Structure 1
């Protein structure tokens, strides 16, 4: 049988260049509104670099309503000049989203990137009635920003902060805020965090992770969070009654002092007999700090639970606890009717963990996936 000959058709460099130019022309001929929408997904530095493409692109980035600025590990002076130019544009037109990342890799910030400068930049965009603000600082910097206006911004809907130090708050007013993320943030008093969360009546998404307090006490005076849909918080931070409307609840122990022993950690188990019913909750992530039968009995409060994640197991079988475990009263309805996925992270293989897994797998009739790490 004769072999078939494969003929490769080469493309001349001139034709290739013409094809690329035609593609650029197609994009350039799009309306400004669509091009600006595309540029809004790019870091601001890349969006500005498109001004070098042609005259058509040169003034386009001036009309951006979203800025994503990241300070490099070097070049403080150039970044300072660039952000001042951006802020001049902010003064001339409304800006919806402003993201600022300060990546300082040494312990003494340069003279161009100081807390007072950052405060000046943030307040400049807040005065423009911005509705989305993200500020990311290095966690070890512990940057204290004086006179920040975003705690009383009427229009802001999304606020994400990392690496800040918050001194005593005297007044908080965030009537439009829907998303609040606090990561590696230090509060001198726990009551300041309590005041902050209580001042967000429309809050839908709450993340509190790796929070530090100068003086800590449980936050028992949180107002109603009736619109909350997702929450990720330390397992001991808030009373369960303020979270009863959520669909997704992630609880962690990342703020537990290392010198606390297993008996004290058990007191932090947030589920008790006076818990409310979580009628909307389908996804629960928590830390196993008690005997497994107590945890399984608490699943009755989550009648629609579909996904259970044990993010960590802090229960120690060798802790010397002599009290007998409470019996399993009954198979919780969510286990037999709705539970589809179980994820067990940081599995240590203790008797407590194995017994719980055996019980769940045996009684979960619609279970589809089990992951043990």
Structure 2
């Protein structure tokens, strides 16, 4: 149980001006308590790294520590203990929730710091909007800079001041419930630079548009498992956005467009079927892109084939670093009928994940079309299935690999993998180093066999060094 003393914070601070006091050690020797002798502000800063519940618990140590927790500039509240070891007993949970609400109110009332750097509120239970309003309003008045808000959205909406904060720089919001959010009519987030939305659903198109349009200085946007209400043509236009992550979001009927001319880092993952693939307008500032499209689901494009191709053109072709997840490589083809791979003039670093054997013609074509390529990393092996079969070697056509470093992880050592690795070495004329990482489950005998097989592979580059790890 957390205790709150009636002694005023001012009196407690006046009684703590000593540089340290003598305490008895385990053998009766006198020692100096130098931690308690530190300045109040420094001790408060140290307590800021602890969860607020732990910081408050230090108040029972001594009179010196009674109100030091009120000097922390980071506050974090989590009602997880309300549901721990309750056995699903609703009465126990209700009592604990009442204690949790009283605890939050008491901490906010006693808190002395006028500037809050970070505020975190994680609630698994449901709370009325009046309580959430009081907590968030108290923090906003103290110029909070970062908020992590993971609370079941009440039926009457978000706290009034959550999206009206002129000092807020970062906002992480996770929706735990089933209610879609509805933003206020005039949200004001003029200082917001980082916005992360997880499992957030918008009640209507205007709510989504109002939120994004209020973030004029937004530099990093993350949308994960969100339900983006798009009806008609939705546009997010920002000239300062540098990092964009869209992970398995759902789109309603319409066109979702992001106009970000200064975008540098893009991550787009589509694990489920979507009716509309978003379109982007980019400049040559893109540095790194990660694309994942799952061909098991029907993906419908907006407009003509030329327009569809333009969707990925800047994202994939102007980047210097590209990471392709399974089945994504087929979306890079300029014309699906001819299966022509476009040029990648700026690509220097390429990450590839599990590809089936019949997709290797696209992999080699991608390597051939990247004249500036320096490093290729096969993150999960050379192909999807590691089983000793006889691959059709004649289907592997010659190509030109410009890479100087190739890294193969999770190498199984089967015949298919050796054939593909040999195909790489025969066409990599400027290769300097090949690093092969074995699987953790491989035994010493398997490792020795892989080493012998690697030494037998022909190499087009006489300077190539093969390293087995």
RMSD: 3.7
| TM-score, length-scaled by structure 2 | 0.59
Which residue in 2 is equivalent to 1:7? none
Q: Compared with structure 1, are the counterparts of its residues 47 and 356 closer, same or farther at alpha carbon in structure 2 (3 Å cutoff)?
A: farther
Does residue 253 of the first structure (1) align with residue 270 of the second (2)?
yes
Which residue in 2 is equivalent to 1:160? 172
Whether the aligned pair in 2 keeps the contact of 1:208 and 1:232 (CA below 8 Å) is yes
1:135 is aligned, of 125, 149, 153, to 149
Q: CA deviation at 1:218?
A: 5.9
Does residue 27 of the first structure (1) align with residue 35 of the second (2)?
yes
Whether the aligned pair in 1 keeps the contact of 2:40 and 2:68 (CA below 8 Å) is yes
Q: CA deviation at 1:146?
A: 5.0
Q: Secondary structure at the match of 1:285?
A: strand
1:47 is aligned, of 37, 52, 55, to 55
Whether the aligned pair in 2 keeps the contact of 1:167 and 1:189 (CA below 8 Å) is yes
| TM-score, length-scaled by structure 1 | 0.72
Which residue in 1 is equivalent to 2:129? 115
CA distance in 2, matches of 1:323, 1:361: 18
Which residue in 1 is equivalent to 2:290? 285
Q: Compared with structure 1, are the counterparts of its residues 17 and 132 closer, same or farther at alpha carbon in structure 2 (3 Å cutoff)?
A: farther
Which residue in 2 is equivalent to 1:100? 121
Q: Compared with structure 1, are the counterparts of its residues 89 and 360 closer, same or farther at alpha carbon in structure 2 (3 Å cutoff)?
A: farther
Which residue in 2 is equivalent to 1:8? none
**RCO comparison, higher one (Cα < 8 Å, 6+):** 1
1:209 is aligned, of 218, 224, 227, to 224
- In the TM superposition, what whole-angstrom CA distance separates every residue of 1:197-221 from its partner, at most 9, and x where no partner exists? 11111111211111125x5326533
Q: Secondary structure at the match of 2:379?
A: strand
Q: Compared with structure 1, are the counterparts of its residues 180 and 288 closer, same or farther at alpha carbon in structure 2 (3 Å cutoff)?
A: same
Q: Secondary structure at the match of 1:165?
A: coil
Q: Compared with structure 1, are the counterparts of its residues 17 and 278 closer, same or farther at alpha carbon in structure 2 (3 Å cutoff)?
A: farther
Q: Compared with structure 1, are the counterparts of its residues 198 and 296 closer, same or farther at alpha carbon in structure 2 (3 Å cutoff)?
A: closer
CA distance in 1, matches of 2:53, 2:42: 19
Whether the aligned pair in 2 keeps the contact of 1:191 and 1:219 (CA below 8 Å) is no
- In the TM superposition, what whole-angstrom CA distance separates every residue of 1:319-372 from its partner, at most 9, and x where no partner exists? xxx950452243x1223xx21x4042xx462634x3333334554641153213
Q: Compared with structure 1, are the counterparts of its residues 179 and 168 closer, same or farther at alpha carbon in structure 2 (3 Å cutoff)?
A: closer
Q: Secondary structure at the match of 2:63?
A: coil
2:104 is aligned, of 73, 80, 83, to 83
Which residue in 2 is equivalent to 1:239? 257
Q: Compared with structure 1, are the counterparts of its residues 367 and 125 closer, same or farther at alpha carbon in structure 2 (3 Å cutoff)?
A: same
Q: CA deviation at 1:93?
A: 3.4
Does residue 349 of the first structure (1) align with residue 356 of the second (2)?
yes
* 1:266-345 matched pairs, under 5 angstroms: 268=277, 270=279, 275-279=281-285, 281-288=286-293, 298=313, 302-306=317-321, 308-311=322-325, 313=327, 324-330=337-343, 332-335=344-347, 338-339=348-349, 341-344=350-353
CA distance in 2, matches of 1:208, 1:243: 15
Q: Compared with structure 1, are the counterparts of its residues 323 and 30 closer, same or farther at alpha carbon in structure 2 (3 Å cutoff)?
A: same
Number of matched pairs:
321
- In the TM superposition, what whole-angstrom CA distance separates every residue of 1:263-293 from its partner, at most 9, and x where no partner exists? x5xx62636xxx43232x32211223689xx
